[in-house]
Structures are given as C-alpha cells and as structure tokens.
Amino acid sequence: MAGTRMDDLIDGLATRLQPVRRLRPPLLRAAVWLCALLLVAAALYAILGGNAGAMAERPYIAPAFVAALATAVAAAVAAFQLSLPDRSDLWALLPLPTLALWLALSGLGCLADLGVPGTWGASFVEMRECVLVILASAVPLSVLLVLMLRRASPERFGRVALVAGVAGAAAAGAVLMLVHPHNSTALDLLLHGLCVAAVIGLNAVLGGRLLRRTQERERA
Amino acid sequence: MPEGSGDGLVLPFAPAIGGALGLPYNAARPSPGGTVVIARTSVDADAGLAALMGAAQGGDEVAYRKVLHASVPLIQRTARRTGVPPSGVDDVVQEVLLAIHRMRATFDPTRSYEAWLSAIAKRRAIDFLRSSGRRSSRELFEPIAYENHADDTDVAAGAELRSEGVRLGAAVATLPEGQREAVEVLAYGEKSLEEGAALTGRSKTALKVNLHRAIQSLRSRLSGSG
C-alpha cells in the first residue's frame, strides 16, 4: 500500500539525516558578495592606476556608475532571494529599473560626446584595457556568485543564473567606470553590450549547468 | 491526523501569502479575534512545524520524522488543489519528500514552514502535470478502452449506488416474512439452496419459490416508484 511505501521513504530519509548548515539570510549573503565586489574594484583600481576624479569632468559617468552599482546590488539580492524556494518570482524584476537607467545613461553619455573626436572608437590599447577590466571583474565575481548560489532551488536554476549574470555584468560595468572614467564611445558601448551579453549568457548556460551539477552531486 | 492538518482549507493561505511576498513569518500572523481563531491555531501548528524543521536541520532524527509525516497531508492537499489526479498524488508526495530532504538547508525556521513546503509542492505538482501531459500526448487513441476504464473517483455514481441500496433495503423490509428470509439468506448471504435450507429449516423448493416471488414483487415495486 501507498501508506507503507511512504513510511519506508520517510524512514529512509530520517535515518540518512545529516546536520546541515542553514543558509544565511539572502541580504547578508548579498552583502558578503558586495564586499568581494569592493575588494575586486579596489584591487583593479590600485593595479591599473584609476582616476576617479575624472568622473566629475564628464556628464553621465557618475550617475551611470551609481546606476550600475545599484543594478549589481539589486541583482545580487534578487538572485539570493530567488535561490530560496519560498520567495516570490517577482524578485527577478528588482534589478530591471536600475538596469534600464544604467543602459540609458551609458547611451546618453555616448550621445553627449557626438561630434567630439574619438566618439566612434577608442584606440586598440584602450579597448584591450576595457575588455581586461571587464573580464578581471566579471569572471571572479560571477564565479563567486554561482558558488554562493549552488544550493539554489532547482526549479529556478535558469532564472537564478540569469539574474546572477546581470549582477556580474553590472559589477563589471561599475568597476570599469571607476577605473576608466570616460564617456562611452559608440564602440565602447557596443563592446560593453557584447561583454554584458556574454557574461549574462555564459552565466545562464554555465551557471545553470554548474548549479544543477552541484545539486546532483549532493543528491547522490 | 497529524498536527496542522485538521483545520480544513483555512490553513495554508495566510503563511503562504506572507511567504510569497517575502515577509517574515510573523507578518503573516492573522490578528486575534472572532473567526480567525482557526487560523491562529494553524499558525501555531505551522510555527511548531517550523521549530521541528529547525531541529531537523541540526540533525534531530525524531523531529525530522515528525515533520515529514505531518507534511504528507499538506503535500496531498497542495497536489490535489494544483489539479494532480488521485492516481498521481502519491508520486508527487514522494518527489516532494525527496525535495524537502535535498533543500532542507534553504529553510529559515523564523519563517512559515507551510509556505516553504507549499512552494516546493506546487512546483513539483506542476512538473508532474507537465510530464504526465507529455506522456498522454504520446498515448494511442483508444475510445473503447477509455469507456471501459472505471473512474478512479466517481463520486456521483457512488452516491447513486448508496441511495439505490437504501431504497432496496427499505423495499426488502416490507416483504412478507418468508420472502424476506429467502432474500436475506440466498441473495445477501450468498448461500446455496442446500445451505439456505439447512439454515432456515425450510425446503429447497419453498426457498426457491419465495425468492422468485420476492424478486418479482421487488421489481414491480422499485420500477414503479423509480
């Protein structure tokens, strides 16, 4: 009968019971990740000799920086909330307003420089540095986020990984603006858009797969 | 009944709504007074389950057993409400019990256990419906087999059968003594003519005649009034 089968299952689960470390509250975990973001930003700033003062000289950079940072924080909070089974799906919408603001401000920064020499493209060296900064911040921060999210609720792997990708990309954008404060050129914007899309896409594909694999290992 | 399951439909809503909005457990606690009394006890039961699950996270096997047993009716209810057919409820319950085990670290004992459980159970139930939908789309079209398959839960037919039984019982009670005896021994008791004769002390022929008359009068009475 179904009753005894259920009893057997409960019995089996109870005998196999191991103490587990309860997950810390999502806000606390987001704060830990934010600390890592600040560390990465400080390290890159020191290594590459950033010039944050230059931010004030150009319009849109400072607000775009704030918007990107806010997007990273909001997306990290949303990812940690979504990773718990009993939290609302609506958390996924949290980073959207600041994300839209960040992208709009980047676009405006680019438009403001129209007509100024160099609007249509940075030098190759500058571009290489941009990509390096983005990779050096996005990769470790995304990996850390995926590691912290590995016990996510399996029904929402895809969504959690997507939001985590937004967090990683926005963090990279904020670090880039801090280290390299110039208004985006059209090429910059395109490049950045590609990098952001790549980080989000990689996270969604790899992140989802990584999350699933860790779960399956734990299940075994 | 395990605790937390005896209070009907009121139980899961308050904590589930609070949980879905991301409110802490206490925010979903209904205000005291009047009709909310039932919900208050269920909230207390929920808090009890949350405490048990908290202990289970620490490795308390007894608490874990209790919380899993108490979860079964809650999962069944969520599964039924999501539209899982009775034949699939057990499968969903098993899946959800395994999911509880895997995801037990994600539970926060300061929040509602039922909201946590029902969120997991609902998604598993939807998964079940999706996969059974896929299965049925590959099945053959067999109208005769479908017609011949007895429903798992035909409540209406069951009720009709019961009321037919009541009518028949009433009609049998009004039969003359000999005929009623024949019906009770041969039809209800499913005895053979020899056994019936031995039991009642009447001849086999008398029993046979009485049963025949009883069936005739029952037929005319029931079809007449039906």
Alpha carbon B90 to its chain centroid, in Å, reads 12
pLDDT 10s digits, B167-201: 888 888 888 888 888 888 888 888 888 888 888 88
Provide the total of helices (H) and of strands (E) in chain B, helices listed first: 10, 0
Domain of residue A107, residue span? 25-219
Place B20 in a pLDDT band, splitting at 50, 70 and 90.
very low
pLDDT of residue A77: 95
Place B21 in a pLDDT band, splitting at 50, 70 and 90.
very low
Q: Do B97 and A84 touch (CB under 8 A)?
A: no
Q: Do B108 and A22 touch (CB under 8 A)?
A: yes
Nearest Cα residue in chain A from B15: A86
Helix, strand, coil tally for chain B in percent (to 5): 75, 0, 25
Residue B11 has pLDDT above 70, yes or no: no
Whether residue A196 lies inside any domain: the answer is yes
Q: Do B102 and A215 touch (CB under 8 A)?
A: yes
Query: Hey, is A158 helix, strand or coil?
Result: helix
Nearest to A88 among B21, B104, B107 (CB): B21
Lowest mean pLDDT among A58-67, A103-112, B10-19: B10-19
The type of residue at A102 is W
Fold of the B8-137 domain: Rna Polymerase Sigma Factor; Chain: A (1.10.1740)
Whether residue A11 lies inside any domain: the answer is no
| CA torsion through residues B82, B84, B89, B94, sign | negative
Q: Where are the domains of chain B?
A: 8-137, 155-225
Whether residue A128 lies inside any domain: the answer is yes
Whether residue A12 lies inside any domain: the answer is no
Place A213 in a pLDDT band, splitting at 50, 70 and 90.
low
pLDDT 10s digits, A141-178: 888 888 888 777 767 777 888 888 889 888 888 888 88
Q: How far apart are CA A108 and CA B81, in angstroms?
A: 51
* Interface test mutation site (partner B, options A16, A17, A89, max chain B beta carbons within 10 A): A17
The mean pLDDT of B113-135, rounded to a whole number, is 87
| B8-137 and B155-225, same CATH topology | no
Q: Does A58 touch chain B (CB under 8 A)?
A: no
Query: Hey, is B103 helix, strand or coil?
Result: coil
Q: Do A13 and B64 touch (CB under 8 A)?
A: yes
Nearest Cα residue in chain A from B107: A22
Whether residue A149 lies inside any domain: the answer is yes
Whether residue A7 lies inside any domain: the answer is no
What percent of chain A lies above the pLDDT cut of 70?
Answer: 70
Fold of the B155-225 domain: Arc Repressor Mutant, subunit A (1.10.10)
pLDDT 10s digits, B198-224: 888 888 898 899 999 998 888 888 776
The mean pLDDT of A49-68, rounded to a whole number, is 77
Alpha-carbon gap: B48 to the closest alpha carbon of chain A (Å): 18
Residue B15 has pLDDT above 60, yes or no: no
Q: Could you give the ipTM of this predicted complex?
A: 0.73
Which of A:142-161 have CB within 8 Å of B? 151, 153-155
> What one-character DSSP code corresponds to residue B149?
S
Whether residue A4 lies inside any domain: the answer is no
